[in-house]
């Protein structure tokens, strides 16, 4: 997949994660737990989207940025990789700790921890949108321009024959 398409997909996943986080925050704003199936559905969609998003970043985005040839971009990618593990680990621990039964038994505790973990995820999304993704877009644009220049040069060579 081309980097431009990957960036579009990552941005769409940010929108989905923000929307799903909002749904979950609406649920935890209630004084009592919702139906277990409702809570499980929102949590499952959030978890699946987050895992898919992190895998795409880990397997496609960060390696490209680290090997971009731009030392500042490579450092930015390394910094984000180092920091992201903490958010991913915190979410995984939260998700494992709060079974449906435990959430129902300690609804206020579940609500507090949900707000905290979603705050960390939201802050991460905002920082990626502000710092990381514009840098990745610039790299994609440079690569696209370089590829077009190579194509023009090859076409000129063929035409000169």
Report the pLDDT value the prediction gives residue 47, as an integer from 0 to 100: 96
Q: What is the pLDDT of residues 16-47, one digit of tens each?
A: 999 999 999 999 999 999 999 999 999 999 99
Alpha helices, H only, 29-70: 36-56, 62-66
Checking if the pLDDT of 85 tops 80, the result is no
Q: How far apart are CA 11 and CA 151, in angstroms?
A: 29
Checking if the pLDDT of 1 tops 70, the result is no
Checking if the pLDDT of 89 tops 90, the result is no
pLDDT-derived band of residue 105, with 50, 70 and 90 as boundaries?
Answer: very high
Looking at per-residue pLDDT, the higher value among 83 and 35 belongs to 35
User: CA nearest 118: which of 9, 25, 7, 28?
Assistant: 25
Question: pTM for this one?
Answer: 0.86
Q: Tokens 């802050």: give the residue.
A: 123
Q: What is the pLDDT of residues 109-146, one digit of tens each?
A: 999 999 999 999 999 999 999 999 998 888 877 767 76
Q: Which residues of 76-112 are buried (b: 16+ CB within 10 A; e: fewer)?
A: bbeebbeebeebbeebeebbeebeeeebeeebeebbe
Enumerate the domain spans of the chain: 3-160
């Amino acid at each position: 997949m081309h980097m431009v398409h990957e960036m579009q997909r990552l941005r769409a996943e940010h929108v989905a994660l923000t929307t799903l986080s909002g749904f979950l925050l609406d649920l935890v704003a209630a004084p009592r737990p919702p139906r277990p199936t409702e809570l499980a559905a929102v949590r499952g969609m959030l978890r699946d989207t987050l895992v898919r998003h992190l895998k795409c970043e880990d397997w496609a985005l960060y390696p490209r940025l680290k090997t971009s040839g731009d030392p500042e971009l490579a450092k930015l990618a390394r910094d984000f990789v180092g920091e992201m593990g903490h958010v991913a680990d915190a979410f995984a621990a939260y998700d494992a700790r709060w079974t449906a039964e435990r959430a129902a038994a300690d609804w206020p505790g579940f609500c507090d921890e949900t707000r905290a973990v979603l705050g960390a995820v939201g802050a991460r999304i905002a920082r990626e949108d502000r710092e990381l993704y514009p840098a990745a877009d610039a790299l994609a644009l440079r690569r696209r321009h370089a590829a077009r220049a190579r194509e023009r040069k090859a076409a000129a060579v063929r035409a000169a024959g």
